[in-house]
Chains A and B, each alone.
Chain A
Amino acid sequence: MALLEVENLKIYYFTGAGAVKAVDDISFSVDKDETLGLIGESGCGKTTAVFAIMRFAAPPGRIVGGKIIFEGRDILTMSEEEVRLLRGQGVAMVFQAAQNALNPVMTVGDQITEVINQHEKVTKEEAWERARKQLELVGIGGDRAKGYPHEFSGGMKQRVGIAIATACNPRLLILDEPVTGLDVIVQRQLLNLVNDLREKLRLPIILITHDLSVVAETCSKVAVMYAGKIVEQADAVSLYKNPAHPYSKLLIEAYPSIKGEKGKLISIPGAPPGLLNPPVGCYFWPRCPSAMDICQEAEPPVQTKDGRLVACHLYR
């Protein structure tokens, strides 16, 4: 039984113009020793899907179907209170680097002790000590605990976010675009930190990003999302060496490699479909170089090929 099993998750946005199928029937799982990378273009639904694990659905979005089974229990059927207790302690999230995920009028130390005090019975001194230790853990000196968020750089704010998220020893950690918007050197430092923590704390991680290199650095398993659907799931090595789905192939080929041979830079022409009235058949066929007649008519079912999952008519 995997730590997290997402089955047939559907999340729709109900706007004045109709229902937008932001996440349309996706399934994946994460085991105790895995790191799952969820990759895709902006707007493909990866963030929406993962937010649902914490049962966050910003209106007008609503989770309309599926199951999210964490440690054997379906999160979608829990009570509000049970979900709240799970957050920060069972599952924890670190938000996108560029956003202001830290309260500007609270000290960094207070924001860490806040989550500790919420879930555990400790004295003020114990909580503060632990907050300082968390800051040391992520590479920031413990004496900076009395500082305010605006005194920290982007990369350091991300570290603080990680310090907060790991404060109560969660069983699953979610990182939403952890290095987007940071310069490459800071990116490297942060990814090293993530890998370190993963080993030290034996922490399963779900990592959302649009950046292939980030996934390559940190993830054992990758799921590729397109227009609200998962088109391919495989272990990281197989995906990079041998992408099966045409979209995955294009993604990997579109990414320039500094070390590799100098080839042509390919970009994927066209744009993702509007999800208000999605096209019939495979969502990707308008941009797919291997499109066949059947692709316009029927949605490709998910099938297993060489130990991975692909949704493509090429592999019938």
Chain B
Amino acid sequence: MPRLISVLRSTRKSLKLLLTHRMGVVGVVIFVILAIIVIFGPLMRTVDPIRTGLPENILVPPSAKFWFGTDDLGRDIWSQAILGARIALLVGFLAAIATVAVGTLIGLISGYFGGKIDEVLMRIVDFFMMLPYLPLMIVLAAVLGPSIWNVILVVSITYWPFTARVIRSQVLSLKERAFVESSKSVGASDSLLIFGEIMPNVVPLMFAEAVLMVTWAIYAEAVLAFLGLGDPMTISWGMMLNFAMGSGVMTMAPWWVIPPIVFICATILAFTFLGTAVSDILKPGYREARGL
């Protein structure tokens, strides 16, 4: 229980710190809006977004009945946009977690052990970083089949090496610090050192990387869905754009594309801002410069 309280307290402190940063404020605001949409989506006057609608409701511009209008199959665009948020953020967070988890593990091992292990791992990392990310994602998604889990997998495979490099850098500089030497001299085991001493210092960076990964994952899911590789059982913002382009009538119904575009861009922007705010705050001297 006291652990929980201290975690909550430091979360509140971090949140307040975040709000001192201009971009942090914008990011947090948009994030809160998105959270509301995701949590209360089904309660927000939505209907099943996949079920085709009545013929007379095809391509209806925004009105009292259909807040965002309808698409070429009579489906309610408001529902698609609101419920599509869940897919975007689900994929975003899960892919971010997976990428950061794998990347951090590799970065920790590579940075801590150094030598041959480091060389081999970094060669693998370099190789992955060289692959063209979009063709890779497309080809893998095409070959693995359309499902939301495949999308998450594909996104993580593409981005983990970047996180690994970043974490490894920090581990290398942490290794030089005295506390590692002194712990070693007391006979601490490797895993204790890695997970007990070094990792806690790496957590802020992991968090910053996770935020960055979310922006990539949102983009990746959107682009894959747009290219027709998304999960056909769901509707996400990218899929809405895919349907719109494929329908041939996109240019006649701008209300169809505006909501997904706005949502995708706002979400990416929000997390980019949060990421910038977090990395600025982590830089030494941030608090002093503001007289905190």
Contact = CB atoms under 8 A, between A and B. Distances in A.
Nearest to A18: B291
Nearest to A60: B289
Interface string A17-58: 110000000000000000000000000000000000000000
Interface string B263-292: 000000000000000000000000011110
Taking residues whose C-beta sits less than 8 angstroms from the other chain, chain A's interface range is under 10
Nearest to A17: B291
Nearest to A16: B291
Contacts of B290: 16
Contacts of B289: 15-16
A15 B290 CA distance: 8
Nearest to B290: A16
Taking residues whose C-beta sits less than 8 angstroms from the other chain, chain B's interface range is under 10
A16 B291 CA distance: 5
Interface in A214-231: none
Contacts of B288: 15-17
Contacts of A17: 288, 291
A16 B290 CA distance: 5
A221 B125 CA distance: 60
A191 B290 CA distance: 43
Contacts of A18: 291
A274 B14 CA distance: 28
Contacts of B291: 15-18
A17 B289 CA distance: 8
Nearest to B292: A16
A15 B289 CA distance: 7
A315 to B, nearest CB: 39
Nearest to B291: A16
Interface in B103-147: none
A18 B289 CA distance: 11
B26 to A, nearest CB: 22
A201 to B, nearest CB: 42
Nearest to B289: A16
B61 to A, nearest CB: 51
A14 to B, nearest CB: 11
Contacts of A16: 288-291
Contacts of A15: 288-289, 291
A17 B288 CA distance: 8
A16 B289 CA distance: 6
A71 B288 CA distance: 40
B110 to A, nearest CB: 29
Interface in A145-183: none
A23 to B, nearest CB: 20
A223 B290 CA distance: 35
A211 to B, nearest CB: 27
A118 B289 CA distance: 37
Interface string B34-78: 000000000000000000000000000000000000000000000
A16 B287 CA distance: 10
Interface string B20-40: 000000000000000000000
A18 B288 CA distance: 11
B283 to A, nearest CB: 15
Interface of B: 288-291
Given A16-B288, A18-B291, 8 more contacts: A15-B288, A15-B289, A15-B291, A16-B289, A16-B290, A16-B291, A17-B288, A17-B291
Interface of A: 15-18
10 contacts: A15-B288, A15-B289, A15-B291, A16-B288, A16-B289, A16-B290, A16-B291, A17-B288, A17-B291, A18-B291
4 cross-chain pairs, A with B, having the tightest CB-CB distances, nearest first? A16-B291, A17-B291, A16-B290, A16-B289
